[in-house]
Amino acid sequence: MPHILEMPAFMLKNGVSESDFLRVHDKWNREFMSKQDGYVSHTLIRNGDTWFDLAIWDSMEAKEKAFKDIYENAATTEYISLIDSIGTDEEIPIFTVVKTY
């Protein structure tokens, strides 16, 4: 089954330093993301002030299960408090990997 890629875009809230954001993001990855069934990896990407969190999942079902549980985690609450999302949850681009070289 092909992997699923999810790529939300966001900006850091005013006054949030990159180092503080990365510390909180690392905690979120340790305490929530990396513990999810079907989680493969995620990569932070930045273009100027716009950040993208490219998450890779084994399946759409794994992604959807993690999304249902995401707001019940304290590390998620801290992570979300530092960012301004660009768009809504429904607008997060989802891609299917066709081929990897």
Please indicate, yes or no, if residue 26 is contained in any of the structural domains.
yes
CATH of the domain at 46: 3.30.70.100
Please indicate, yes or no, if residue 101 is contained in any of the structural domains.
no
Please indicate, yes or no, if residue 14 is contained in any of the structural domains.
yes
3-state helix vs strand vs coil in the chain, percent to 5: 40, 30, 30
Which domain, by its residues, includes 62? 4-96
Contacts of 50 (CB under 8 A, 6+ apart): 9, 10, 11, 86
pLDDT at 75: 84
- What is the reported pTM? 0.84
What count of other Cβ atoms lies within 10 Å of the Cβ of residue 42?
20
Please indicate, yes or no, if residue 64 is contained in any of the structural domains.
yes
Number of domains in the chain: 1
Largest pairwise CA distance in the chain: 42
pLDDT per position as a tens digit, 33-88 = 999 999 999 999 999 999 999 999 999 999 998 888 787 888 888 999 999 988 77
